[in-house]
A and B are shown apart, each in its own frame.
Chain A
Amino acid sequence: MIREKETTLYLGPQHPGITGNMMVKLKVQGDTVVKAATHVGYLHRAFEKLIERRNWLNAFTLLCRFCVPEPDPMELTYARAVEELDNREVPERAKYIRVIVMELARLQSFMLWYAGQAGSAGLYTLGQWSVGDRNYILDLFEELTGGRIYHMFIWPGGVRRDIPEGWKDKVLKTMDYLEKRQDDYNQLMFDNTIFQKRAQGVGIVPKDKAIEWGVVGPPLRGVGIKSDVRIDEPYEVYDKLNFEVPTAEGGDIWARALVRKEEFRQSISIIRQALEKMPEGEYTNKVPNPMKWVVPEGQAWAKTESVRGEIGFYVASNGTNKPYRVHAKGAAYTHGVTVLEKILPGQNIADVSFIMNSLGVCPPEIER
């Protein structure tokens, strides 16, 4: 009898499935979800509007806060859009440093994902390990940029400063360590029966609908579609580095986890190659006085591959020292609304936060 009665369940705005605040309004029968609707609005900080009142470089203090677990792709994407408007060349060395920063950012974000994904299945040990190890990467960031989470390091024209002495060796050492540690994570996660049972066949994104719903990144590769901005539209020096774009079949949480597991390896390999191939030279093509820097009139679109998928920035200039319009589209914008609302019906309530984590839903990115 209880199964027939439909009840409304408000999941959130605070719950373990997510970085930030977002509510999912669920209609449930028993413990099965019948209908889901995403409610955002708890984190709206009007960044896009505020950026219009600031100069081109001031925008960086806001940009990196678009998504807490991975601030760097936002900086890079915006910087690339501004460079396109301003016709600003980036020195080769800066491109390599950017790639290293991006891949380190990817690794630290993967480690948060390990923690979140395992934590929402009840495997708390893994979260303690990976978040603990993540601090080694944050240490590297602190030495390079001065900040642990928000870096504001990638600027139009290059990066803010050159890599410090001895930093390269520290990165290589950390990579060796993480490579070994990942085996431990994987053992704890993929060999665990609870994780296997909970992840396999749950939260399936149908292959034929994936692109229509706006699925990007690991969830798209998890349905067997090989798509990665680093390959499709290579930026910086990704076309000079060797790496694989892993895919998996099935479209469930398990497939997405397999993709991320392999991408972790690939990121380590990219960092090693980039450190080896990085040439000497300038690290920035310095921009003029930021208070007076005028970017020529025009519109530009840039996209990069973040850990959760494609991130794009549309930037319009009217030829003044402030951006006329900046619009950001992150992976969560579609994953957290359309995709989530479509795949939740039929799932168990206990799996909702598990699914959200595997899709990489990041609420601050949805509402900005």
Chain B
Amino acid sequence: MTELIKEQHLLDTITNTFKLKGRVIRDRRVEVFADKELVSSILLFAKNQQGFIHLAHMTCIDWIDENKFELIYTIWSPVEKIHLFVKTKIDRENPEMENIDSIWDQANTYEREMREMFGIQFPGLIGEQDFVLEDWDEMPPMRKDFDTAKYASETYFQRPGREDAKDVRETISERSGTKVPDFAKKYSREK
């Protein structure tokens, strides 16, 4: 893997400095796994000393089976042309994560969205409580245990004539007196 020297060097620098685990995924992709307390130090180190000046993206994944939220910080170095993923897992109960909008102003938007969609608190985060959702008092909707179908059926009513939520193909065939083709039955809701 001679062509991945740059990536390997970066990985070694970061993992040795912070005593972390990580790997080179492929060319231009390096990931490191850190404890949540270390994330802001790693990001600052990468930004100020390794040239990762662009925060490309931040996201959260709800690993409900593990009872963890995984936060992913994707940063990009325009000089080295490498993506570095800093990944951390935090508890799903009372989730709290350090606010990094002092490192990148734009992180504020991502954090406000995560606060709303996953219920993760970022102490010191400035910005109105509501970002996309207004007056939302249910469970944060992007969590895996939020059931969209259940919410929709409890909140909204069926259109008149569709109360039974019957498959539309069967309704049509009943009205017109024709048979539902076999291939259509395969995907029918009523088995």
Contacts and interface: CB of A to CB of B under 8 A. Distances in A.
Interface string B30-60: 0000000000000000000000011111010
Interface residue tally on B, bucketed by range: 20 to 34
A125 to B, nearest CB: 37
B57 A44 contact: no
A314 B106 contact: no
B29 to A, nearest CB: 7
B29 A301 contact: yes
Q: Output the residue of B78, B109, B141 with the most chain A CB within 10 A.
A: B109
Given A53-B148, A312-B57, A214 B132 contact: no
B74 A233 contact: no
B57 A325 contact: no
Nearest to A326: B59
B81 A327 contact: no
A44 B132 CA distance: 7
B100 to A, nearest CB: 12
Contact of B55 (A41, A214, A337): A214
A63 B144 CA distance: 20
A316 interface: yes
Interface residues of A, number: 35
Q: Output the residue of A37, A209, A214, A324 with the most chain B CB within 10 A.
A: A214
B130 A41 contact: yes
A40 B131 contact: yes
Interface in A285-308: 299, 301, 303
A50 B81 contact: no
Given A41-B130, A211-B54, A213-B106, A324 B61 contact: yes
Given A40-B132, A44-B133, A314-B72, A327 B59 contact: yes
A329 B62 CA distance: 18
Interface in A42-63: 44, 46, 48-50, 53
A328 to B, nearest CB: 9
Contacts of B89: none
B56 A303 contact: yes
A316 B144 CA distance: 14
Contacts of B55: 214
Nearest to B134: A41
A314 B28 CA distance: 15
A337 B109 contact: yes
A214 B148 CA distance: 32
Interface of B: 28-29, 53-57, 59, 61-62, 72, 74, 78, 81, 83, 85, 104-106, 108-109, 128, 130-134, 141-142, 146, 148-149
20 contacts: A41-B131, A48-B142, A49-B146, A49-B148, A53-B148, A53-B149, A209-B105, A212-B53, A212-B105, A214-B105, A232-B78, A233-B81, A299-B72, A314-B74, A327-B57, A329-B56, A329-B57, A338-B106, A342-B105, A367-B132
Given A214-B106, A314-B72, 5 more contacts: A50-B148, A211-B54, A316-B61, A329-B56, A329-B59
